[in-house]
Every structure is written in C-alpha cells, then in structure tokens.
C-alpha cells in the first residue's frame, strides 16, 4: 500500500466494525479482520490433526506451523527459529522466566519498573520466593508516568542479571526508551527482557535494532487471535534447560519452550493477521493516522476530565487513562457503554506499581487503534462532554 493510510479500506476488512459499536477497548484486545476468522475456521476444517504424520491433514498442520514461524520472524524482526508460541504472554513469561531461573542463584537481582504490567513482575517475584533472587523496582516520575532512568542507573549493580521493562505501558500509554534501557542492561552485564505487548499494537518491532534479549507480546492486541508470542535470542534459548516432555523436539530452538500441542488454528489466524498488517503497509503506515487521532482526542477533552500521564502525544501511544470530576469511573464507563462506546474502568489495569505511585482510585481507559476514525473520536468526545457537564446522579 502506498500513500496516506486509508482507514476506510482497512475497516472494510472487519465485519465487526460494520455496526454501531465503537471499540475503544483495544488495549484489552483488538477486533480481528475477517481473514483471521476465516483462517481459524478453515484450519479447523482442513487441518484437524497433529504433527508427525504423512497424511494430508498432518502435512497441512506442518505448513501452518512453518508459516506461523515465518510470520513471527517478520513481525518481530528475528529468525523464525527464535520465535516461541504459547497460550498468552503471561504463560510464556512464566515459562521463559522459569527456564532462565535455573541459571540464577540466591542474591542475584532482577530489576522491574513501576510501569510494568504484573505479567512482567509476578514471574520474577515468584522466583524470588522459590530461589531467593532479589527483585528491585525502578521508580517513575508521577507527573507524566515516565520511567526514572537515573533510578534505574542507580539500581544496576554487579548482581543484576535481568532488566525487565515494558516498551509501552498498557494503562497510561507511556513509551519507554527501549534501546537505551537495553544498552544500560547490557553495560551492566544483564539481559534486557522486554514486554512489548502494548507497544506491538502501535509501532513496528525490530528486536535486533532495539537490542532485546527476550521480548514478548500478544497477537490478540494487534488484530490476531488469542495467543502468546515471544522472541528469545538463539544462543540464550539453546543454553537454557526448558521445562518440556522428553520426546519433544529440540529444534527449532524456540520450539523447546512450547509445551504440548500448539493451537494450530490460532497459529493460522496469526499468519492471517500478519498478512493483513502487511497488506496495509505495516504499522509504519498507520502511525500518522493514530497520532492525529490521539491529538484530536487530547485537544477535545472537556474541562473536568483529567488525563493520567503525558498530556501530549510525544512519548506515548494513543492509550489514555481518564478520571472525571463528579463521576465514579465505573459509572462513567457504564454510561459510555450504554451509548455504544466500548470502554472499561479499573483500578490498576494490572499495573500495580503505577497505581501505588499515582493513587488515582479507579479510571476509565480509552484505547485508540488504527481502525478508528476521526468521526468516532468526535462522537466519543461529544458524549463524554455531555455526561460530565451533568452530575452522575442526574444522568438518565
């Protein structure tokens, strides 16, 4: 695709967008193109088998797996052999952290941040419980919810083994300087362990360029099926002892960490989602569009609505955490849902460290994705304005 991003052409590939609902819940999972649904359906119909057979359906499964690894390599910028699939990012992170945990000793240190989703914190704290490692937490600047890199520098030491951090925060949208943090980790002799789940929905990824040693994300946050996806540097994966059954193959190296039979129909759906992204020019082609929508949203917020975190589109993706004067977040979300805007309210959105540092109570999360239109954003803003101009108890 060339030229400006054509949002209407993209939307025509989603049957779910041909209705009255406006899906601003993208941080919890995006809508999927029709081709993804068709790929899942066709694989369940035509490839209901397992690997290892010479019969047609088994051969088709092998082709699905090969195409999924190739698609994962293209999406992440790595070798297909370094791709790891799993049930979801959280499960993969527990599996990979358990594997590297076999190389850690009591007193070794893992650094996490207050911007992290708990899926990139809990695995390390469980290892601390089991083997006695120390988990340190980097602070943030509460005024704009950015990682305090000076605090990270101060906490790096000779016992630091892993620096685990989010490329973008799923609650407030802050983007971290991932390349810089990876360099800081490497300079300290540590691994850079990146949660790219939220970033991957908005920006292209190149694991080599950023310097990640391990990177994880969730295809269902970027037009794919419910699935987990990870990259692990080949030499690292080859050196770790995986938790797996003995007969399972050790090749390709990423497969060593895929326990049990994989969801082949979901892998086919993942291939279709990557094909869709490539058909629209990749996420690079959507950046100007989504940034403009984010700027439109921020500029149009009415008085009485507060954005938690950065108030511009600089250094963030278009995910916004909001509170409104006179409104409980849950009540405001319910009123928006009643008016066909899909949003949600929560206290932490699983960013426990952020919530401890910026105690806002509950908030409404609005996530803008590349299939949204300026008209949808205008309609959401108009509805928010109409609601907050009246006390909650007066809303019909």
Among 230, 255, 279, residue at a domain's last position: 279
Residue 376 is predicted with a pLDDT of: 98
In 3-state terms, what secondary structure has residue 172?
A: coil
| 19 token code pair | 């209705």
Burial-class residue 375 by CB neighbours within 10 Å (0-12, 13-18, 19+): exposed
Residue 394 is predicted with a pLDDT of: 59
Same domain membership, residue 218 and residue 326: no
Residues contacting 372, CB < 8 A, separation 6+:
7, 22, 24, 290, 293
Q: What is the DSSP string of 205-259?
A: --HHHHT-SEEEE-GGGTTS-S-EEEEE-HHHHHHS-----TTS---SGGGGG--
Q: Which of 23, 117, 84 is nearest to 341 (CA)?
A: 23
Omega before 252 cis (within 30°)?
yes
Same domain membership, residue 105 and residue 243: yes
Among 279, 298, 333, residue at a domain's last position: 279
Residue 10 is predicted with a pLDDT of: 98
Other C-beta atoms closer than 10 Å to the C-beta of 235 total: 10
| 309 token code pair | 């975190």
Question: Is residue 44 in some structural domain?
Answer: yes
Enter the DSSP assignment of 261: S
Same domain membership, residue 227 and residue 121: yes
CATH number at residue 322: 3.90.1150.10
Contact criterion met (CB below 8 Å) for 29 and 222 = no
Same domain membership, residue 315 and residue 258: no
- Is pTM beyond 0.85? Reply is yes
Question: Is residue 161 in some structural domain?
Answer: yes
CATH number at residue 163: 3.40.640.10
**Angle formed by the axes of helices 34-46 and 264-279, to 10°?**
150
Domain count, the chain: 2
Same domain membership, residue 206 and residue 132: yes
Q: Give the domain range for residue 11.
A: 7-24+284-390
Same domain membership, residue 79 and residue 219: yes
Same domain membership, residue 251 and residue 157: yes
pLDDT in tens, 20-38: 999 999 999 999 999 999 9
Burial-class residue 338 by CB neighbours within 10 Å (0-12, 13-18, 19+): exposed
Q: How far is Cα 128 from Cα 105, in angstroms, rounded to an integer? A: 10
Same domain membership, residue 255 and residue 321: no
Question: Is residue 91 in some structural domain?
Answer: yes
Q: Which of 320, 322, 308, 310 is nearest to 357 (CA)?
A: 308
Among 255, 279, 303, residue at a domain's last position: 279
Q: How far is Cα 214 from Cα 339, in angstroms, rounded to an integer? A: 41
Q: How far is Cα 138 from Cα 126, in angstroms, rounded to an integer? A: 18
Residue 360 is predicted with a pLDDT of: 92
pLDDT in tens, the chain (396 residues): 345 899 999 999 999 999 999 999 999 999 999 999 999 999 999 999 999 999 999 999 999 999 999 999 999 999 999 999 999 999 999 999 999 999 999 999 999 999 999 999 999 999 999 999 999 999 999 999 999 999 999 999 999 999 999 999 999 999 999 999 999 999 999 999 999 999 999 999 999 999 999 999 999 999 999 999 999 999 999 999 999 999 999 999 999 999 999 999 999 999 999 999 999 999 999 999 999 999 999 999 999 999 999 999 999 999 999 999 999 999 999 999 999 999 999 999 999 999 999 999 999 999 999 999 999 999 999 999 999 998 655 565
Residue 4 is predicted with a pLDDT of: 84
Question: Is residue 31 in some structural domain?
Answer: no
Residue 2 is predicted with a pLDDT of: 44
Q: Tokens 């950065």 sit at which residue?
A: 310
Question: Is residue 396 in some structural domain?
Answer: no
Same domain membership, residue 311 and residue 175: no
In 3-state terms, what secondary structure has residue 87?
A: coil
| DSSP-derived pairing of the beta strands 191-195 and 160-166 | parallel
Residue 1 is predicted with a pLDDT of: 38
């Amino acid at each position: 695709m060339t030229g400006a991003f054509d949002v209407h052409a993209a939307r025509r590939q989603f049957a779910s967008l041909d209705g009255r609902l406006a899906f601003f819940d993208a941080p919890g999972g995006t809508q999927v193109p029709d081709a993804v649904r068709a790929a899942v359906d066709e694989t369940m119909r035509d490839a209901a088998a397992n690997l290892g057979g010479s019969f047609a359906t088994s051969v088709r499964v092998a082709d699905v797996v090969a195409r999924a690894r190739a698609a994962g390599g293209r999406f992440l910028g790595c070798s297909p052999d370094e791709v790891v699939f799993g049930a979801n990012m959280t499960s993969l992170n527990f599996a990979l952290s358990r594997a590297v945990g076999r190389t850690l000793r009591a007193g070794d240190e893992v650094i996490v941040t207050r911007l992290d989703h708990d899926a990139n914190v809990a695995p390390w704290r469980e290892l601390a419980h089991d083997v006695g490692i120390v988990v340190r937490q980097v602070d943030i600047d509460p005024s704009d919810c950015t990682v305090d890199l000076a605090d990270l520098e101060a906490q790096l030491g000779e016992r630091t083994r892993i620096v685990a951090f989010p490329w973008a925060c799923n609650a407030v949208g802050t983007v971290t300087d991932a390349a810089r943090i990876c360099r800081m980790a490497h300079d300290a002799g540590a691994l850079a362990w990146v949660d790219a789940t939220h970033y991957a929905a908005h920006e292209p990824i190149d694991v080599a360029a950023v310097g990640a040693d391990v990177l994880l994300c969730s295809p269902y946050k970027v037009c794919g099926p419910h699935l987990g996806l990870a990259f692990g540097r080949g030499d690292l994966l080859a050196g770790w002892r995986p938790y797996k059954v003995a007969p399972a193959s050790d090749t390709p190296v990423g497969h060593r960490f895929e326990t049990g039979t994989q969801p082949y129909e979901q892998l086919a759906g993942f291939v279709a989602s990557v094909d869709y992204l490539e058909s629209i020019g990749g996420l690079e082609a959507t950046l100007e569009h989504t940034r403009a929508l984010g700027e439109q949203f921020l500029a149009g917020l009415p008085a009485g609505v507060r954005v938690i975190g950065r108030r511009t589109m600089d250094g963030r993706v278009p995910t916004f955490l909001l509170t409104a004067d006179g409104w409980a977040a849950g009540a405001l979300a319910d009123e928006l849902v009643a008016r066909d805007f899909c949003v949600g309210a929560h206290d932490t959105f699983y960013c426990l460290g952020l919530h401890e540092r910026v105690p806002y109570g509950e908030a409404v999360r609005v996530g803008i994705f590349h299939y949204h239109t300026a008209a949808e954003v205008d309609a959401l803003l108009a509805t928010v304005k109409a609601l907050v101009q009246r006390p909650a108890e007066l809303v019909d």
